[in-house]
Each structure stands twice: as structure tokens, then as C-alpha cells.
Amino acid sequence: MPVKTVNRQQSQSPAQQLQMQQQRDVETGLYPTIPPERRSPPSRPQTLRQDTVDMEEIPLNQTNGSQEPEDRRKMREIFDKHDSDRDGMINTHELKELISNGYCRDIPAYIAAQILKRADQDNDGHLDFEEFYTMSLHHKWMIRNLLTRYCRYVVPPPKPLEGDEPDGAYEKQMSICPPPLTMVLFSIIEIIMFLVDVIHFQDDPNHQDRIGESTSGPAATLFIYNPYKRYEGWRFVSYMFVHVGIMHLMMNLIIQIFLGIALELVHHWWRVALVYLAGVLAGSMGTSLTSPRIFLAGASGGVYALITAHIATIIMNYSEMEYAIVQLLAFLLFCFTDLGTSVYRHLTDQYDQIGYVAHLSGAVAGLLVGIGVLRNLEVRRWERILWWVAVIVYFALMTTGIIIHVFVPDYFPKQEYN
């Protein structure tokens, strides 16, 4: 058999031998590296092969030839990972998520849109894989994760683009199913109780000039916190249904609906209800301990609990929220402004009847209970410690208040039983 092979090769012309060798190379895919045993005999002219082979098929650099498929494979993995809707395209929000995984945290969506526009060669508003891969070759931040350099090339516009949506992890948790109606229901009950007393005194000439300001109506008499009827335990919470005047009612309704719905969209109804009721209970408990003979009406304890609950959720979800620092500063500014106004009014108005202790107690309860029950999207070690501190402090304060009420009755006014 070997003799016959030699004879066949000797009978073929050099051109035929070259053609057969090239065919074998194509079939085995060995253009870049042809093993020695498959190469043509040394007697074959070397220039003939180079003249007949398309040089574009042979990488000029063997290292680059083996590296390019690996780069494309890595880029394909990144592309598929962030193509969340699996449509073979990367849109603005998917590109922003990709960018946010690097050092350029909380980049607004309109900056991602500008980056997308720079790399979108066919101007269809999306990046296909080839455009994505080309961008990765031109901008090595894709591979090296040095996103900060690239962000500096993009100047943010003065206003967000139309259609820009909040897409922080916290904001993505917002849901209207079930509908956020908890604070709306509380508000409706408070309005009904207020109207019951208003209708009761509508024909009384002594109350014509002070609509809704009487605390002797049927609803107020039943629900107000009365220090002389502390044995009626529901009054520690039910006083939130009693309001003195229309302005008192409207201010509480506006704030609690506005703040309560915002919390309920993320944290669900039962957590918001717990925070609100904890603030109401803490308000009456604190007032009873510091001013044992003071009557109490209004939902301000619950309202202040909602305010500080927003501060609690900002603390626990700071890294997952967009513009968290702006929200935190806004709530802190409101709290300190209200505190300063309250202190000034208390010092200058001798007829001031606002229950500041109820406000303060509700605010403390809202912060502690908010840390304890509101959702924490990504729990960190220091947040676990803070959670335990908040829960222990809240229950310690409430337990102390209950013990004083039960075992130190002489501190409080004598109860009236009728």
C-alpha cells in the first residue's frame, strides 16, 4: 500500500497536489495552524500556496486569533445576562442596569440613554449584539469595569428626559395590588366621627361659631382619651378619631394620606397600619405619663409616626433608593422645622393646647417600629444590629409605661366610674 501511495503522488502534477492539500485544510479547519504531517512536501513551492489562499482568512497574529472568540463569548454572556426580556436587544433600562453594576452607582436613566445613543449605529433605540460588541471593543470599560471614566464623557442634561422612570431597587417594589387604601379607610372613619358630632350640634346656637370644636359630642365623649377613665383601655387608641376643628382634621388627613400611601405601595397595608397605630398608642402613653390630667384628641401621634417611618425606611434601604439623600434631608428638615415651631409656640402662647409630647412619642414610635416592621430589601450586618436595638428599645419603653399605669395608680388622677 505505501508503494502505491508514493506512485500516485508522483503521478500527480504540483497544481493537483496543491488543490488536494487546500481541500483537506478547508475540511479540517486548519488554516491557521496546519500540523506538520498534513503539510505539503518540502519540494512544493511555498509561494504557490500563499498566492492562492485568501489572506483575510488567516489572522496575522496568532494570539489575537485565539483571543477574539473568547472576548465575544464573554460579551455574549454579559449581553444575555442583561437582556432581561430576551428579545435580543439591550434597551435603555437594561443598559442602565449593566452600568449600575460597576462603580458608577445610581446613574440616572437619561445618561444611559445618551450612552445608548452613542453606540446605537442604526438609530433604532436598541443595541443588538453586534453593536454591543463593537461598543465593548471601542470602550474597554465594559470588560475592565472602569465605568467611571466613561460616565465622565457624558454631560447630563439639566432636566430628565420625558418618560424617565424611577428604577431603583426600592422604587421597583411599588405595587398597587392590593390597592393602598389603609390610610384612606382610617381617614374616612375619622371624617365620619367628626360629622357625627357636627350634626349633633348643628341646631345648638352655642356651637354655631365653633363647628366641630366641641369635645362633648357623642363620638368625642366615647372615643377621646380621658385621663379620668383610663380603665377604658380603648381610649388609648380611639382618641385618633376625635378632632377639634376642621383645620385640625384636614391637616392630619392630608399628611397621613400622602405619607401613608407612599409607604403602603412598598411595605403593604399591615406594616403601615402597625406603624400608625403604634404611634397613636405611644402618643397617649407618653402624654399620660408626662401630663396625667391632660385630655387628648387627634391622630397626630400616628401622623408623626408615618413621618419618621419614612426616615426609618430610608435608613434601612439607603443603597436601594434613588435620591435617598434628598428624601432624608426633606424629612429631617420638616421634623426640625416643626420642632422649632412647636417650642416657640409653647413658650409664647400661654393658651397653647397642642399635645407636643404626643407628637414626640409618636415620632419615636414610628422610627423604632418602622425599623422593626418595614421591609428591608437587602439586610446588612449593621442593619440586623439596628433592628434588634429598635425592637428592644420600643418594647422596653412600652413595657415601662404599662407597668407604671398598672402598679403606680396614685400617680394618676382618681378614676371616675359611672
Is 310 a residue of the active site? no
Nearest to 150 by CA among 216, 195, 104: 104
The neighbouring-strand residues paired with 127 are: 90
- Per the CB < 8 A criterion, the answer to whether 329 and 258 are in contact is no
- Per the CB < 8 A criterion, the answer to whether 293 and 279 are in contact is no
* Catalytic position from the list 300, 310, 361, 405: 300
Helix, strand, coil percentages in the chain from 3-state DSSP, rounded to 5: 65, 0, 35
- Per the CB < 8 A criterion, the answer to whether 365 and 305 are in contact is yes
All cell numbers assigned to 248: 385640625
* Catalytic position from the list 136, 359, 361, 405: 359
- Per the CB < 8 A criterion, the answer to whether 366 and 312 are in contact is yes
For residues 413 and 228, what is the distance between their CA atoms, to the nearest angstrom? 6
Return the residue matching grid coordinates 399620660: 288
For residues 239 and 219, what is the distance between their CA atoms, to the nearest angstrom? 10
Is 243 a residue of the active site? no
For residues 131 and 129, what is the distance between their CA atoms, to the nearest angstrom? 5
All cell numbers assigned to 168: 431603583
Longest dimension (CA), the chain: 132
Residue partners of 147: CB distance under 8 A and separation at least 6? 99, 102, 103, 104, 141
Residues assigned a catalytic role: 300, 359
